[in-house]
């Protein structure tokens, strides 16, 4: 089916699903207020469950901080149960009498400690434990977890951090893959607010995987977080709406809806916005032999108007089979103006020439994706499953740029250039996973995955000769990139008592073809690799567990690593790709321990990473022009320690921190140059959260990155400070957020490169960003911020 026809068909299907969202029968509403019988105080977060005549659960929820609740159901409820830790459960019969709203008034629960003398009520506590290749955070019923959103709950998981703007990181690294029930989901898209429709009472556990086993794609990543939902998910209409603004321009409006019934879970998310991303840059190329220096400085902007629509549904065929169909369409309109001052001078500031180079760039970026998943559970065990998924993604870009030089001093530099780039990328993934717990202690897993990546990029540069633009054949070409990866795996695990062991093996076969039309240049790669893994864990005590693991990973060069096209934005500082790049391979060893105390959690790991065919960016200077390209150069051995800790100093103050120290040794040579060197680097972060009266939260984040060295130079260290404030209204349904990123504009990237007689200096700075947003959640939805998507 042609892509346009397929897009129209999917859009029609999803619009049909969306219009069905609100057409699933009459809604009945039950409300009331819950107080303690002894003290007449409101009971927040009490559980409210609605049953029908067949004693089936048809709805539910919890009270807010004032003790109020409001439940919606799609059929008449027969009775409700109200319960809370330390109180007797109370059952109330309902009767609507031909009306659709029922107010039960004030309901008082009796304490279970009355007339019992000395009696201790213990709630089920949230706990963290090691499970072979992952850490598992089991969500309990303690007060600290009750009523939390999924994002807030993630912030309680060791090694996981969620800042006040909703960005998730694992061990201090962003780019984490978020899964829902073991599979990708648009609900887990960090670019939107769909996670706000999940609350702690829907979540059974959260799994954290820092060193993935052979079951997972061998491609390197920052790690995996898997959110496992309870079987009995809350029904009804849930959602959130948000509006945001900021300086520089960062404005958006978002809506998220989620409708759950006995057989369907329909969800949608839509948003629109505009943002501006300025960046100041300075580059200096100094030749110490000729005493000549060419510099440029100026500000570039990336202004984006964006639209986004997500639609999808889960269809529960029965208790053992579920089908999920979802899709997303996004569209961006870009405008990228910039102006740079170029100066050609000697060390005494005597200018040979000076000119201004301006750029006007416009682009449109359409993107759509679709996802079909089928999951089957077997009757003998809920862990005995078969999961099939098929995903497709398309991204297009049509970019036009025009450049003009205007001479200010010295020799004439006047010139006009323009470029056009037409880019399209299509990615497809097909995956099958089978899990079978053969006995209570032994589990087998097997499966396969096939991915296809197809890219076409046509690039054209034209020069103005005084009367017309003429195509420059030296910088004009068509580039095709096609990659196919087939992987199969099997793992076997044994767990008994306090100890567990998992062995795994993955085989991946890769076919890669690139083609440059001009020059008829091709690059064909065909290779098969084995990726073994072994993981073990042992629980020494209730407070201390250890975990050890080994896995082999691969980093395949990305499109922009391979694409040889250059940018003419700065014709004295040019970056290009390298079509001949080979993949990196890494052997990862890790051993760690986790300590869990009442108010402090500590996770420490020691790791070793041996990498071959390291991809490094190398700069060279020709005729005062700096060219930077990636190459495979030798090996790298890294050893380090990583520590994550969180301390609840009081009920109002908590402090968490991440620390990573590593030393590495590089060996290799390139173009008759010795690239051997060794160095170390470290980074640290602390986050302080303070809860003030009137549901006001403050957050302070301090980040530090040490000097980072490579064989040609180094990047200077920097520190930056972020702060944020959050005010909740109406029992948490309304949230006002304010954040300042990089308060002192100190997140500065400064790089110094030495290459022969040349000294290269580059400087870039984003500056301070302020954001203000308000969001409102309804149903079981939590108020969360929608900020759009970045690509």
Q: 166 by DSSP, 3-state: which?
A: coil
For residues 504 and 490, the answer to whether their CB atoms sit within 8 Å is yes
The reply to whether 296 and 175 lie within a common domain is: no
Collect all residues with Cβ–Cβ distance below 8 Å to 144 and sequence separation of at least 6.
126, 156
Closest CA to 217 of 7, 412, 485: 485
DSSP 135-146: EEEE----TTTT
Distance CA 777, CA 733 (A): 5
- Cα–Cα distance measured from residue 311 to residue 264, given in angstroms and rounded to the nearest whole number: 13
In a domain, 67, yes or no: yes
In this model, does residue 165 exceed pLDDT 50?
Answer: no
Whether 23 shows a pLDDT value over 60: the answer reads no
Picking from 738, 726, 788, the residue whose alpha carbon sits closest to that of residue 254 is 788
599 & 644 share domain? yes
Across the range 364-377, mean pLDDT stands at 88
DSSP-derived 3-state class of residue 12: helix
Q: Pairing between strand 573-575 and 625-632?
A: parallel
Check residues 449 and 330 and name the one with the higher pLDDT.
Answer: 449
Task: Give the pLDDT mean for 401-413.
Answer: 84
**Percent over 70 (pLDDT), the chain:** 80
In a shared domain, residues 640 and 724? yes
Whether the pLDDT of residue 544 is over 60: the answer is yes
Q: Which residues are 28's β-sheet partners?
A: 73
The number of beta carbons lying within 10 Å of the beta carbon of residue 704 is 14
Between the alpha carbon of residue 606 and those of residues 400, 402, 616, 640, the distances in Å are 49, 51, 25, 6
| Res 679: pLDDT | 86
* 199 and 104 assigned to the same domain: no
Is the pLDDT at 662 greater than 50? The verdict is yes
Residue 783 lies in a domain: no
pLDDT tens per residue, range 587-605: 889 898 888 777 788 888 8
Categorize the per-residue pLDDT at 660 as very low, low, confident or very high, splitting at 50, 70 and 90: confident
634 pLDDT band, cuts 50/70/90, is confident
Average pLDDT score over residue span 388-413? 86
Closest CA to 452 of 486, 408, 478: 486
Last residue in a domain, options 190, 218, 234: 234
Classify 732 as helix, strand or coil.
Answer: helix
| pLDDT > 60? residue 235 | no
Same domain, 85 and 206: no
Q: What is the pLDDT of residue 785?
A: 42
The confidence score (pLDDT) of residue 390 equals: 92
Question: Is residue 709 situated within a structural domain?
Answer: yes
Q: Count CB neighbours of 24 within 10 A.
A: 14
Could you please report the per-residue DSSP string of 535-589? EEEEE-SSSEEEEEEEEEEEEPPPHHHH------SSTTEEE---TT---EEEEEE
400 domain-assigned: yes
Q: Which two tokens stand for residue 323?
A: 């089908």
What is the rounded average pLDDT of the residues 470-493? 88
User: How far is residue 679's CA from residue 665's CA, in Å, rounded to a whole number?
Assistant: 7
Instruction: Kindly state whether residues 142 and 62 are assigned to the same domain.
Output: no
Q: Return all residues near 169 (Cβ < 8 A) that are at least 6 apart.
A: 160, 161, 162, 163, 176, 222
What is the distance between the alpha carbons of residues 54 and 65, in angstroms, rounded to a whole number?
Answer: 32
d(CA 45, CA 784): 19
Angle among Cα 702, 598, 201 to the nearest 5 degrees reads 85
Q: What pLDDT score was predicted for residue 26?
A: 58
Domain closes at, from 215, 234, 253: 234
Residue 525, domain member (yes or no): yes
State yes or no: pLDDT of 197 exceeds 50.
Answer: no
What is the phi/psi pair of residue 216, to 5°?
-95, 155
- What average pLDDT does the structure give for the chain? 78
CATH code for the domain in which residue 624 is found: 2.40.170.20
- What is the predicted pLDDT for the residue at 443? 93
Residue 383 pLDDT more than 90? no
On the question of pLDDT at 789 being above 80, the answer is no
Q: What is the pLDDT of residues 53-79, one digit of tens each?
A: 767 677 777 787 678 888 877 677 778
Domain with residue 164: its CATH number is 2.170.130.10
Residues 512 and 625 in one domain: yes
DSSP string, 744-774: TS--EEEEEEEETTEEEEEEEE---EEEEEE
Helix or strand (DSSP H, E) at 778: strand 769-778
How buried is residue 143: exposed, middle or buried, by Cβ count under 10 Å (0-12/13-18/19+)?
exposed
Least confident of 123-127, 149-153, 324-328, 405-409: 123-127
Are residues 61 and 171 part of one domain? Answer: no
367 located within any domain: yes
pLDDT of residue 530: 94
Q: Is the pLDDT of residue 145 over 70?
A: no
Burial of 243 (0-12, 13-18, 19+ CB in 10 A): middle
Q: Does residue 241 fall inside a structural domain? A: no
> How crowded is the C-beta side of 551, counted as CA atoms within 13 Å?
29
Per-residue pLDDT at 783: 44
Mark whether 204 and 300 lie in a shared domain: no
State yes or no: pLDDT of 15 exceeds 80: no
Pairing state between β 28-36 and 101-109:
parallel
- Contacts for 280 with CB less than 8 Å, ≥ 6 apart: 297, 298, 299, 764, 765, 767
In a domain, 277, yes or no: yes
Q: Mean pLDDT across the stretch 402-425?
A: 85
Residue 753 pLDDT > 70: yes
Per-residue pLDDT at 105 exceeds 80: yes
CATH number, domain with residue 58: 2.60.40.10
Is the pLDDT higher at 176 or at 265? 265
Note whether 271 and 786 are within 8 A (CB): yes
| Residue range 166-183, pLDDT digits in tens | 567 666 555 567 777 766
Based on the domain organization, do 526 and 624 belong to the same domain?
A: yes
- Same domain for 266 and 201: no
pLDDT tens across 545-558, in order?
888 989 888 888 77
Is pLDDT at 731 greater than 60 in this prediction? yes
Q: Is the pLDDT of residue 503 over 90?
A: yes
Give the pLDDT of residue 787.
39
Q: Which domain holds residue 150?
A: 127-234
**One domain for residues 151 and 70:** no
Q: For residue 649, what pLDDT band results from cuts at 50, 70 and 90? A: confident
Mean pLDDT score, 403-418 = 84
Residues 290-306: what's their mean pLDDT?
86
Helices (H) and strands (E) in the chain, counts: 3, 46
pLDDT digits (tens, 9 = 90+) for 737-751: 888 888 888 888 888
pLDDT at 674 over 90: no
Domain count of the chain? 3
What pLDDT sits at residue 445? 94
Residue percentage of the chain with pLDDT more than 90: 9
Last residue of a domain, one of 197, 215, 234: 234
Sheet holding 28-36, edge to edge: 68-73, 28-36, 101-109
């Amino acid at each position: 089916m042609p892509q346009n026809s397929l897009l129209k068909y999917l859009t029609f299907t999803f619009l049909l699903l969306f219009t069905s969202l609100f057409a699933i029968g009459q809604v009945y509403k039950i409300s009331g207020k819950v107080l303690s019988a002894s003290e007449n105080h409101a009971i927040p977060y009490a559980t409210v469950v609605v049953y029908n005549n067949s004693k089936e659960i048809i709805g539910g929820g919890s009270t807010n901080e004032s003790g109020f609740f409001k439940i919606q159901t799609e059929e008449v409820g027969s009775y409700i149960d109200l319960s809370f830790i330390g109180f007797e459960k109370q059952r109330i019969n309902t009767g609507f009498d031909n009306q659709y709203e029922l107010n039960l008034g004030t309901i008082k629960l009796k304490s279970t400690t009355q007339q019992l003398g000395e009696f201790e009520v213990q709630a089920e506590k949230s706990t963290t434990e090691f499970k072979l290749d992952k850490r598992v955070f089991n969500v309990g019923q303690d007060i600290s977890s009750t009523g939390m959103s999924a994002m807030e709950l993630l912030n309680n998981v060791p090694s996981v951090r969620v800042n006040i703007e909703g960005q998730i990181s694992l061990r201090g690294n962003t780019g984490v893959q978020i899964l829902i029930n073991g599979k990708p989901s648009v609900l887990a898209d960090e670019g939107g607010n769909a996670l706000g429709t999940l609350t702690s009472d829907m979540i059974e556990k959260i799994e954290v995987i820092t060193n993935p086993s052979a079951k997972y794609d061998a491609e390197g990543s920052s790690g995996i977080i898997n959110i496992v939902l309870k079987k009995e998910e809350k029904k009804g209409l849930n959602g959130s709406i948000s509006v945001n603004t900021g300086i520089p321009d960062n404005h958006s409006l978002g809506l998220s809806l989620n409708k759950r019934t006995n057989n369907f879970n329909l969800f949608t998310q839509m948003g629109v916005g505009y943002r501006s991303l300025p960046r100041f840059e300075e580059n200096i190329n100094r030749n110490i032999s000729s005493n000549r220096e060419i510099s440029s400085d100026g500000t570039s902007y990336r202004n984006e108007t964006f639209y986004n629509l997500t639609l999808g549904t889960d269809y529960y065929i029965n208790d053992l089979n579920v089908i999920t169909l979802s899709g997303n369409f996004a569209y961006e309109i870009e405008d990228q103006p910039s102006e740079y001052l170029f100066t050609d001078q000697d060390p005494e500031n005597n200018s040979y020439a000076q000119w201004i180079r301006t750029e006007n760039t416009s682009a449109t970026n359409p993107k759509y994706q679709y996802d079909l998943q089928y999951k089957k559970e077997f009757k003998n065990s809920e862990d005995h499953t078969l999961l099939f998924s098929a995903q497709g993604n398309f991204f297009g870009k049509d970019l036009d740029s025009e450049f003009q030089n205007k001479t200010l001093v010295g020799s004439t530099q006047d010139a006009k250039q323009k470029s056009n780039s037409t880019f399209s990328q299509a990615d497809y993934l097909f995956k099958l996973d089978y899990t079978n717990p053969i006995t209570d202690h032994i589990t087998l897993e097997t499966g396969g995955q096939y991915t296809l990546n197809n890219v076409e990029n046509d690039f054209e540069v034209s020069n103005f000769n005084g009367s017309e633009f003429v195509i420059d054949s030296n910088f004009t070409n068509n580039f095709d990139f096609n990659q196919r990866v087939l992987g199969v795996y099997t793992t076997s695990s044994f767990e008994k008592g306090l100890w567990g062991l998992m062995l795994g093996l993955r085989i991946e076969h890769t076919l890669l073809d690139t083609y440059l039309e001009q020059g008829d240049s091709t690059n064909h790669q065909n290779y098969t690799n084995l990726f073994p893994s072994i993981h073990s864990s042992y629980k020494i005590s209730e407070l201390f567990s250890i975990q050890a693991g080994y896995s082999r990973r691969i980093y395949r060069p990305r499109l922009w690593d391979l694409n040889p096209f250059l940018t003419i934005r700065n014709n004295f500082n040019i970056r290009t790709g390298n079509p001949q790049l080979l993949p990196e391979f890494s052997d990862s060893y890790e051993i760690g321990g986790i300590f869990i105390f009442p108010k402090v959690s500590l996770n420490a790991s020691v790791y070793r990473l041996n990498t071959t065919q390291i991809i490094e960016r190398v700069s060279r200077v020709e005729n005062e022009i700096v060219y930077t390209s990636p190459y495979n150069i030798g090996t790298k051995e890294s050893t380090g320690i990583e520590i994550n800790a969180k301390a609840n100093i009081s009920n109002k103050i908590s402090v968490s921190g991440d620390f990573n120290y590593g030393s590495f040794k590089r060996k290799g040579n390139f173009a008759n140059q010795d690239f051997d060197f060794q160095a170390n680097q470290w980074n640290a972060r602390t986050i302080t959260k303070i809860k003030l009266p009137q549901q006001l939260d403050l957050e302070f984040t301090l980040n530090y990155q040490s000097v980072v060295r490579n064989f040609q130079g180094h990047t200077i260290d920097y520190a930056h400070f972020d702060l944020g404030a959050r005010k909740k209204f109406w029992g948490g349904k309304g949230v006002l957020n304010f954040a300042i990123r990089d308060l002192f504009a100190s997140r500065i990237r400064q790089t110094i490169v030495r290459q022969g007689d040349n000294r290269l200096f580059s400087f870039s700075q984003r500056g301070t960003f302020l954001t203000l947003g308000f969001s409102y959640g309804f149903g079981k939805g939590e108020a969360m911020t929608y900020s759009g998507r970045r690509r």
